[in-house]
A and B are shown apart, each in its own frame.
Chain A
Amino acid sequence: MTWEIVIGLEVHTQLSTRTKIFSGASTTYGAEPNTQADAVSIALPGVLPVLNKGAVERAVKFGLAVGAHIAPRSVFARKNYFYPDLPKGYQISQFDLPVVGMGSLAIQVEPLSGNAKPYEKVVRITRAHLEEDAGKSVHGASQGMTGVDLNRAGTPLLEIVSEPDMCSAAEAVAYAKTLHNLVRWIGISDGNMQEGSFRCDVNVSVRRPGEELGTRREIKNLNSFKYMQQAIDYEVQWQIDTLENGGKIHQATILFNPDTGETRAMRSKEDAHDYRYFPDPDLLPLDITPEMLAAMRTELPELPEARRTRYVNELGLSAYDAASLTSSREMADYFDTCVTSVGNAKLCANWLIGELSAQLNRDGLDMAQCPVSPQQMSGMLVRIADNTISNAGAKEVFRTLWAEGGDADLIIDSKGLKQVSDSGAIEALVDEIITANADKVAEYRSGKDKLFGFFVGLAMKASKGKANPAQLNEVLLKKLAG
């Protein structure tokens, strides 16, 4: 008997403002402990919160990007609980009136196993709300003590809550990746997962088809897609095993241990959470004016989905290529620059998805750190398109551009990579080979087709790799046919 998996995500994304959500303290990552903990961050008696416009604008941008309803009036509430990294004893968040309402996100799912085909799915976004981040506990700071660093306290977060629309780890990961791309794409977050700028809580439950939703357990604070997949896989199996062995699932908050690949329940609090939400009397209702809405709409770039569609419909790229090229704003913008000057979209796509991405991967860089500018890249792609260089020559040019920089044309000249497209020269070359290898030619003509590659290799070698491959093929076929 089969099980259905039900997954919903809550993603906390740090907004890329210069200052905190309720004070003018810097949010720069990595400062000395508590040097960015101002009076509001450490909750001195008498201090008050004032809302950062930059955080609101980013939340609105996100709402527009997922086609959500933007609440004309939303409310900040206090979530009350005691924890050393929560200096006020409450977190300012939004509860029953969030700034962003129901929206949706289309995701491209690549099944993680088997030979199932990629497919598209729309995940509904329940809401997104503004809130402040907590500080950090530094364990083992001193013998038997925990240290508290409040630099991060008050950093603006957008908590994005999905509907439980995902039914596999692959879908959850695809959703998280698409969302991660989107928040960076529209410039509201740096999305840096190592620094905790994009943290996922995953709610997982299982049920028999047709039955009511099962009890869910929440995997907290996943900050890598790989761990997310591992954690979900482990958790799903654990829940299924538990139920099949006659056990019950209890609602719990759990942590994933990447070292063991296992999940475990957090040490349960002695009393159930009772956050005592109520509207924060220090903050007035947040009204989104039509002016701000219009301004944010104008600032919003063409979104990944729109661009993907455009690549397929207008540039004739495959769905796979279009998805790869829109996996980040930097990649897509890079591609657009190349296509504008080169013209041949498929050629540009192949190079960006192939050689360029592979090289970035090898060097552990992301697109923003790419040493070859789109202009340099275009200079090379143009020479491929006009047959000046062969593919092999192009790889040589690319390696040089990557390692030393420079200009494609100059590299082609200095390395003598211009390919031979003179048909007379190619025919002479082929004639020579046919004469010198009469026995092989005979074999070929008697039906040993496989030998064609042998002749191509010889011809290429003879031309020092500079022969135009298409032309060479054509001439060889003709001459070998006799």
Chain B
Amino acid sequence: MSLSTADVQKVARLARLAMNDTEIEAARTQLSGIFELIAEMQAVDTAGIAPMSHAQDLSQRLREDRVTEDNQRELFQHIAPQVEDGLYLVPQVIE
């Protein structure tokens, strides 16, 4: 299967990856090859088979509603690219 340049551009945008035209084209060729490999599974008849999301068929364990975490802002923001007055800073968001 062959992907179009527009497909690749759309995916790059969704994934928030900046790519120039050369990179888009390289990605297109490589992804097309990979999707040829993946295409093998299309032919398999999976009617009536339940999708498998987890290795074990178990159910979610529930946590008691108890506070276990304390304020570690200083430790956590020590490794942040840009903070001010306890806030993480990002370029202006416009709604």
Tell me the smallest distance from the CB of A138 to a CB of chain B, in Å. Answer: 6
Task: Give the number of chain A interface residues (Cβ < 8 Å).
Answer: 56
Task: Give the number of chain B interface residues (Cβ < 8 Å).
Answer: 36
Whether A35 is near chain B, meaning CB under 8 Å from some CB there, is yes
Q: CB distance B64 to A53 under 8 Å?
A: yes
| Nearest B residue (CB) for A38 | B69
Q: For residue B76, which residues in chain A have a CB less than 8 angstroms away from its CB?
A: 34, 37, 39, 42, 44
Q: CB distance B95 to A267 under 8 Å?
A: yes
Q: For residue B63, which residues in chain A have a CB less than 8 angstroms away from its CB?
A: 24, 50-53
With most chain A CB atoms within 10 A of its CB, the pick from B67, B77, B85 is B67
Q: CB distance A50 to B61 under 8 Å?
A: yes
Q: CB distance B88 to A150 under 8 Å?
A: yes
Whether B84 is near chain A, meaning CB under 8 Å from some CB there, is yes
A458 to B13, CA, bound (A): 85
Q: CB distance A147 to B66 under 8 Å?
A: no
| CB-CB under 8 A for A146 and B93, given A38-B69, A284-B54 | yes
Tell me the smallest distance from the CB of A53 to a CB of chain B, in Å. Answer: 4
Residue among A75, A145, A266 making CB contact with B90, cutoff 8 Å: A145
Tell me the smallest distance from the CB of A343 to a CB of chain B, in Å. Answer: 41
> Could you mark each residue 35-66 of chain B with 1 if its beta carbon is under 8 Å from any beta carbon of chain A, else 0?
00000000000000000011000111111111
A271 to B15, CA, bound (A): 12
| CB-CB under 8 A for A142 and B89, given A38-B72, A271-B10, A271-B13 | yes
Q: CB distance A146 to B72 under 8 Å?
A: no
Residue among B10, B66, B88 making CB contact with A34, cutoff 8 Å: B88
Residues on B lying within 8 angstroms of A by beta carbon are: 10, 13-14, 16, 53-54, 58-69, 71-73, 76-77, 82, 84-95
Contact count A vs B, C-beta below 8 Å = 128
Main secondary structure of the interface of A (DSSP, over half): loop
Q: CB distance B60 to A51 under 8 Å?
A: yes
Other A-B contacts than A34-B86, A52-B63, A55-B65, 8 sampled, CB-CB below 8 A, are: A18-B66, A24-B63, A24-B69, A39-B72, A84-B93, A145-B91, A274-B14, A281-B53
Q: CB distance B10 to A147 under 8 Å?
A: no
Q: CB distance A145 to B59 under 8 Å?
A: no
Residues on A lying within 8 angstroms of B by beta carbon are: 17-19, 23-26, 32-39, 42, 44, 50-56, 73, 75-76, 82-84, 137-139, 141-142, 144-150, 255, 266-267, 270-271, 274, 276, 279, 281, 283-287
Q: For residue B88, which residues in chain A have a CB less than 8 angstroms away from its CB?
A: 34, 84, 147-148, 150
With most chain A CB atoms within 10 A of its CB, the pick from B58, B64, B88 is B88
Tell me the smallest distance from the CB of B14 to a CB of chain A, in Å. Answer: 6
| Nearest B residue (CB) for A281 | B53
